[in-house]
Structure 1
Amino acid sequence: MLKTRVITAIVLLAVLLPITLFAPVGAFAALIAVVVIFAAWEWARLLKLTGGSPVVYAVIAGMALIGSTRLGLGYKPLYQMAAIFWVLAGPFALARKPALADGAWRIFLLFAGIVTFVACWHALVAARTVGVAFVLSLLLVVWLADIGAYFAGKAFGRHKLAPSISPGKTREGALGGWLAVMIVGSAGAATLVFAPTLFSALVEHLGWAGALLSLTVLTVFSVIGDLFESLLKRQAGVKDSSGLLPGHGGVLDRIDALLPVLPIALLLLGPVAQSLG
């Protein structure tokens, strides 16, 4: 299993890093579109669509993505709709645990998924347009929250965060992830070596207190995104969203925490975000 994970990671890095760091924005946008479409396919499968329906749903997501680029109205409404979903429906579903793949919830989540994936794509492309450092700093928030939570949970984890959804996660781990984001984010905003980044933009727009509060909000929603997908998988009776990435699960397993963080981050930037989209 470890060998498979390492090989998959090397292949992914060999594809993702050069395109993210050196390719034109158009190539980056095309790569992220492929990622989003596969994630939409997995989302449909977790909602228990059968036969060719997940493929149809993925095609619809791709068409929605293409169509959204032709509206010419800016993408703030997309970010707002995605953020509303994560702020309201995400915590409600985690607290009440309704049957997400049944009835009205499934219909709602199929629609919400399209909005969420399209907003995610636009946010990443807009961030990459600003610069490599900016888009990497957005991703870094989620990576730090995840890595910090893993090591803090291993070392200090005693109290389960959501035992019925994801038994491995602890409150101590979540706190460790938050501390990692705070420390690195503060250092990044203070040094300004790679500016503009998410950290420097937040400080410039909101001041230090507002920036640290915003990073706290983003860390919380990275956990909500992770737990929401865990709830979907638990109700679907699967360990991974798919087997597309051997040793790593599916695409959705890798981007679940990004889905709420990206639109909320751009909305927190206010007028800065308007220049991104």
Structure 2
Amino acid sequence: MGKFEGQGTRFLTGAVLVAVVVAVGLIDNFFLIWLFLGIVYLFAFYEAMRLFNIAEHNHLYAYAAITWLLALFYPNPDDLFFLIAIVFASILAYTRDFDKRLFLPILYPTASFLFLLELYESFGVASLFWLLVVVALTDIGAYFTGKLAGRRPFCPTSPNKTLEGVVGGVLVATFTGFFAGSVLADWPQALLISLGTSVASIFGDLFESYLKREAGVKDSGDLLPGHGGILDRVDGYLFGGVVMVLLLRGLL
């Protein structure tokens, strides 16, 4: 058990986070879920601004808040990303000296949070539960498998992540996610969607690790004891949620 010593804070924070998410899901109210995701989004947006080294551009927070407010009323929240992209490109073309880095926090994490809200709007709270199960078990399965049997590094971006851990996490998440998704899809689709979402969550985690290495920081923030920042905790959902929406649309 020596490999797991000192992880009490991490496990406790994780348990509290899961309890909060489950409570919000059980209430199953659109406004509450919009509000909850919005709070998480704004913290994630703040951390992304720091990672992209554009934290001094405080006006972007107003744009982020306006975007999320529009998502409360607009029937297809994920479409708002394309509207924002057109506005950004139009400003860039008109001014010719607009800082292109300012689009980065609109791409990540804004687009992903809009897809998470769309996931709930189009497929209900059961889809969010499915996503939670797949991404959480990918992370947990990879952690424990890596601790117990990890030998080969997965890639240079995240040297602590092992190939054995990644495979173990994806297998655990895929087969458990299959049961969680069976209320929305037939078994072949549930299995495929769980697999795609699990693999996407691995690369969501990897992408955030890349951003942190580029920024020269260990964590995206320090809000969550034992986990770091908000992005450190939701990175897998930011890729997994997008892929789940696309697969649900394409396969159901």
| Structure 1 residue 179: Cα displacement | 1.0
Structure 2 residues not aligned, in runs of 5+: 1-5, 84-98
CA contact (8 A) 1:124 1:135 kept: yes
Tell me the residue number matched to 1:84.
none
Tell me the residue number matched to 1:100.
none
Q: TM-score, with normalisation over the residues of structure 2?
A: 0.78
Give the letter for the 1:56 counterpart: H
Tell me the residue number matched to 1:130.
124
Matched, 1:41 2:59: no
Residues 233-275 of structure 1, C-alpha deviations (whole Å, 9 max, x = no match): 11111111111122321111111010111122122112788xx
Q: In 1, Cα distance between the equivalents of 2:8 and 2:177? A: 33
Matched, 1:65 2:65: no
Distance 1:110 1:161, change over 3 A: same
Distance 1:241 1:172, change over 3 A: same
Give the letter for the 2:29 counterpart: P
Tell me the residue number matched to 2:37.
32
**Stretches of 4+ aligned residues off by more than 6 angstroms:** none
Alignment counterpart, residue 180 of structure 1, candidates 172, 180, 197: 172
Count of residue pairs brought into register by the alignment = 232
CA contact (8 A) 2:220 2:228 kept: yes
CA contact (8 A) 1:214 1:268 kept: yes
Q: TM-score, with normalisation over the residues of structure 1?
A: 0.72
CA contact (8 A) 1:182 1:215 kept: yes
Residues 137-194 of structure 1, C-alpha deviations (whole Å, 9 max, x = no match): 111110111111111112221221112x1111111111101110232133x1xxxxxx
| Structure 1 residue 17: Cα displacement | 3.6
Distance 1:123 1:236, change over 3 A: same
Q: In 1, Cα distance between the equivalents of 2:148 and 2:200? A: 23
Q: In 1, Cα distance between the equivalents of 2:47 and 2:209? A: 13
Question: Comparing both chains, which one has the higher relative contact order based on Cα–Cα distances under 8 Å and sequence gaps of 6 or more?
Answer: 1
Matches within 5 A, 1:95-174: 104=100, 106-113=101-108, 115-123=110-118, 125-126=120-121, 130-131=124-125, 133-163=126-156, 165-174=157-166
| Structure 1 residue 46: Cα displacement | 0.5
Residues 102-127 of structure 1, C-alpha deviations (whole Å, 9 max, x = no match): x75x3442331264244244135426
CA contact (8 A) 2:134 2:174 kept: no
Tell me the residue number matched to 1:90.
none
Q: Pairwise CA RMSD of aligned residues?
A: 2.9
Residues 9-37 of structure 1, C-alpha deviations (whole Å, 9 max, x = no match): 46545644433323633222211110111
Distance 1:249 1:10, change over 3 A: same
CA contact (8 A) 1:149 1:173 kept: yes
The alignment-based identity, stated in percent, is: 35
